Structure 1
Amino acid sequence: MAIKATIHKAQLQLADMDRNVYADIAVTIARHPSENDERMMVRVLALALGWPADTSQGTLEFAKDMWEPDEPALWHKNFSDEIMHWVEVGQPDDKRLMKASGRARRVSLFAFQSSTPVWWSGIATKLTRANNLHIWQIPHEQSQALAKLAQRTMQLQITVQDGTVWVNDGSESLEITPQRLMGED
């Protein structure tokens, strides 16, 4: 018998002063049996950082990337089913990123593993044609600290200012400084 997903619920209070995006976001996260807390929490962080300023054409939502190979970790589809924003986490290969670049208006990737510099040095030159691709590295120590905030039910305040992200769960606060590897906003 297959192991089922573990359900997590999060209430996010987002204050992104860099983009003037303020939102209360309630999400249900289906955590794949092979997914760890670190990857799940990077997906939550990616949701907050990619939340659209204008939600009249839909919002960013969790997709089935670990169940369906043709889906990302998150995506924003408008009401015509056009992919507005495709979001990956981890270290996908260049073919996956180039395919996503052709399918979506915007593609973002949040890499968080300690091996990201080695992975990036081997893939960077293969992605130069993708003008809609934005790649960020979350420092590994910071993504591990973020993983420690994982609970089955979470209330997180996420504040973004001057490129720095603060995540607070009511008892602990941490600072995350995403580093841009590729793409301009």
Structure 2
Amino acid sequence: MGIGATIHTFDVQLADVDRGVYDELSFKVAQHPSETAAFMSTRVLAYLLEHEEGIAFGDGLSGGDEPAVLVRDMTGALVAWIEVGAPEAERVHRGSMAAERCVVYTHRDPAKVAARWAGKRIHEAEAVRLVSFDAGFVDAVADAVTRRTTMSFSVTEGVVYAEVNGVALTSSLHELRAA
């Protein structure tokens, strides 16, 4: 019998001043045994930075057909395809075709992620955002996350201020375009 997913519970005070989003959130995240803490933490960060009505975690590593995070409108139509890590250009292309907007959040070197996409076909590549954080930020978040995590998370003028289980962390948001 294989090892099951580890369930993490998050209680978050969200204040995204840049987008005018303020909310108290409580959600669970299943971390697949093959998923690194940094990847899971990036999924959580993407969820918080993209938070809006209709947002949900995708089937993830077990699903394959859905992105890490997605947003559906009230009719069930896919509005946002939000990938994490360093997805292949083909997957980004598919996401850009399937949804109104496509975003990739990475915990890896964004220049290397973008270089892998160079010369590859990506639908409306100029509209696909590749978002990254300051070096070490995602790893610090991952180190502070426990099975039950309390967070305050604010975004002001492109800077993230997070307190994760009492650990204060800050990062600028960095953005590249796929094209």
Q: TM-score, normalised by structure 2?
A: 0.91
Query: What percent of counterpart residues are identical?
Result: 29
What is the rounded CA distance, in whole Å, between the counterparts of 2:130 and 2:123 in structure 1? 12
Write the deviation string for residues 4-47 of structure 1: whole angstroms up to 9, x where unpaired.
Answer: 11111001110011111101111110111111211111111111
**Aligned pair in 2 of structure 1 residues 82, 180: CA closer, same or farther (>3 Å)?**
same
Give the length in aligned residue pairs. 177
Structural RMSD (CA): 1.7
Write the deviation string for residues 85-140 of structure 1: whole angstroms up to 9, x where unpaired.
Answer: 111100011111001101011111011124x3223223144347335421112234
Match of residue 70 from structure 2: 75
Q: Which runs of 4+ in 1 moved over 4 A?
A: none
1:149 Cα offset (Å): 1.5
Structure 1: unaligned runs, 5 residues or longer: none
What is the rounded CA distance, in whole Å, between the counterparts of 2:83 and 2:67 in structure 1? 6
Match of residue 42 from structure 1: 42
What is the rounded CA distance, in whole Å, between the counterparts of 1:111 and 1:23 in structure 2? 24
**Aligned pair in 2 of structure 1 residues 73, 128: CA closer, same or farther (>3 Å)?**
closer
The residue correspondences of 1:133-148 to structure 2 (distance < 5 A) are 133-148=128-143
Quick check: 1:122 aligned with 2:116? yes
Structure 2: unaligned runs, 5 residues or longer: none
Quick check: 1:101 aligned with 2:93? no
Match of residue 174 from structure 1: 169
What is the rounded CA distance, in whole Å, between the counterparts of 1:140 and 1:72 in structure 2? 24
* 2:58/2:68 contact within 8 Å kept: yes
What is the rounded CA distance, in whole Å, between the counterparts of 2:125 and 2:112 in structure 1? 20
* 1:112/1:139 contact within 8 Å kept: no
Write the deviation string for residues 34-75 of structure 1: whole angstroms up to 9, x where unpaired.
Answer: 1121111111111110012xx3xx2x1111120011111011
